[in-house]
Structure formats: structure tokens, C-alpha cells
Structure 1
Amino acid sequence: MEQKDKVLILTEETSTNTWRKTRNLLLLQLKLWIDALRDFALMPIGFVCYLMDLFSDSKDDHHWNRLMKWGRQSDHHINLFQHKSFDKKKSVTVDDLADIVEDVLKKDVKNSQSTQQLVETIKQRVKTQFRQD
């Protein structure tokens, strides 16, 4: 039997599917890094909050509770595992920012804008899309 060389033909559908999978992997890696940096920063901050509450005159855990609230809010922004319940909240997530950056790069790189113009376009899109009314 004669074995023919297989030729890989990339259709637009295959290319789109490959990009979607690659994008999901890269986005997960970015979110894991952001989550790890946040956790690393929270270690000493948690200790400081504990000490501040321990030596305060108040009986409540004001600093600790604020830290926990901030941690929950940052979970919504990172949205590491794409919780659907987080979508109901009107907070900007890493996914939202990635969508904006990808969209701007797809459209505006073709127009050969400078890097500074691209960054300004991204900032403007974020401001208009997530304006707090």
C-alpha cells in the first residue's frame, strides 16, 4: 500500500476554532497569573489587617472584613473560571478587557495606527463601555 502525504488544509472554520482554543488557553494563563499575584499580595496585607484589628479599640474586625470584601470583588473582576453568576454583576472582567483589546487589534492594526493610538483607542472603549452612570 502506498501511503500518501497528508496535507493540512486550514479552512477559516478550522482557523477560527484553533484561535478560540488558543485564546482560551492564553486567557486562562493570564487570569491564573493575576490571581496568583493577588494572592501573593494578600498574604502580607492579611497579616497587617489582622494586626490592625487586634490592636484596635473596636471589637469588630473592620479591616479584616474590608479585606474579605475586596477579595470577593477581585474574584468578580478576574472571573477565573467564567462563573455565569458574575455576569449579572456590572463589573469589568478580564474577559471583557480581552474582548476589547482583541477587537481593537483586529480592526485598528489594519489601519496601521501607532501603538500609542491603539492604547488610547482601548482606553476610550473601556471608558465608554463600562461608564458608571
Structure 2
Amino acid sequence: MEGIAQSQSGLAASPRSPGRRGRLVRRVILFQVKLMADGMRDVVMSPLSIAAGLFGLISRSGSAEVYLDRLMRFGRETDHWINLFDHRSAPHDTPSPSLDNIAEQIEEALRRDYENGGLSARSARALAEAAARLREKASR
């Protein structure tokens, strides 16, 4: 957080600043989650598009493309929800749910838990202690 605040206020933070590293790690993790969601959507939509095309071919309704059009609209909606390449300029300002909003809510819940000494704080201490023991063993 400190590195982010410094960079926003115009002060240069060092490349080794924990704020910058933390922001980078957060962005990489969120991007991986978005890639997974996008891939899962594509896997599901591929057979659905074939089914929509087949239904359109055998349908006796006026518009043979109605099913595919619905699927395309669903694809656009999920594309905005996933926001893979941050094409929505301010995802947290939009009323519709998105992976960005969900990630912010999870992050805030973890931050509150950590500040209150909950499970995330105990986990962080345990990881720090384990890392210290590993460094101690490696230095011997």
C-alpha cells in the first residue's frame, strides 16, 4: 500500500518496495484467475454454439439465428464481467458485478481478518517463521 500511495502522490518508490511487489503479485494472480474464467467460458461456449446452430437449422421459427444471437449476447456480458484485459476503465465504479469487484471484496475481507489477528494473520506469522527456519538451515 505504501508504494502505491507514493507512486500516486508523485514520489518515486524504489523497485524493491513491498507495495510495488504486492501490487504486481496481486495483478498477476487476478490475471491468472481471469484467464481461467475466460478459458472455462470458451470451453462451455464452444459446444453451446454448435447446439445453437443446430437448433437454428431445425427450428421452424422466423429467425434461425435467434439461439446463436442469445449466445453471443451472453458471451459479451461475460466478457465484461471477466474484464480480462481491464477494458473497463473503472470496474469498481460499475454497479454490475465483475471479477474485479469480487477480488476487491475478498481482499478487503482478508485485510480486515489480518488486522483483527484472525486466521490470515496467524498464517502470515507461520509462513514467516517457516521461511526463517529455512533460511537458517540454508546458512548452515
Task: Provide the TM-score with structure 1 as the length reference.
Answer: 0.70
Report if the CA contact (8 A) 1:77-1:94 is conserved: yes
Report if the CA contact (8 A) 2:113-2:119 is conserved: no
Q: CA deviation at 1:20?
A: 0.1
In structure 2, how many angstroms separate the alpha carbons of the residues matched to 1:86 and 1:43?
Answer: 30
Corresponding residue of 2:135: none
Of 37, 51, 54 in structure 2, the residue corresponding to residue 51 of structure 1 is 54
Q: CA deviation at 1:63?
A: 0.8
Corresponding residue of 1:63: 67
In structure 1, how many angstroms separate the alpha carbons of the residues matched to 2:108 and 2:89?
Answer: 25
Q: CA deviation at 1:32?
A: 0.5
Corresponding residue of 2:84: 80
Q: CA deviation at 1:76?
A: 0.7
For structure 1, which runs of at least 5 residues remain unmatched after alignment? 1-11, 116-133
In structure 2, how many angstroms separate the alpha carbons of the residues matched to 1:41 and 1:65?
Answer: 16
Instruction: Give the number of the structure with larger relative contact order, counting CA–CA contacts within 8 Å between residues 6 or more apart.
Output: 1
What percent of counterpart residues are identical?
Answer: 34
The question of 1:100 aligning with 2:105 is answered yes
Summarize deviations over 1:53-104 as a string: whole Å, max 9, x none.
Answer: 1100013111111100100000010000111357475321111110110011
Of 15, 18, 23 in structure 2, the residue corresponding to residue 15 of structure 1 is 18
Residue identity in the other structure for 2:76:
R
In structure 2, relative to structure 1, the CA distance for the partners of 1:80 and 1:107 (3 Å cut) is same
In structure 2, how many angstroms separate the alpha carbons of the residues matched to 1:98 and 1:89?
Answer: 14
In structure 2, how many angstroms separate the alpha carbons of the residues matched to 1:28 and 1:104?
Answer: 20
For structure 2, which runs of at least 5 residues remain unmatched after alignment? 4-16, 121-140
The question of 1:35 aligning with 2:31 is answered no
When the two chains are superposed, the root-mean-square deviation of aligned CA atoms in Å is 2.2
Report if the CA contact (8 A) 1:76-1:86 is conserved: no
In structure 2, relative to structure 1, the CA distance for the partners of 1:15 and 1:89 (3 Å cut) is closer
Tell me the secondary structure at the aligned position of residue 81 of structure 1.
Answer: coil
Report if the CA contact (8 A) 2:52-2:68 is conserved: yes
Greater fraction of residues in helix: 2
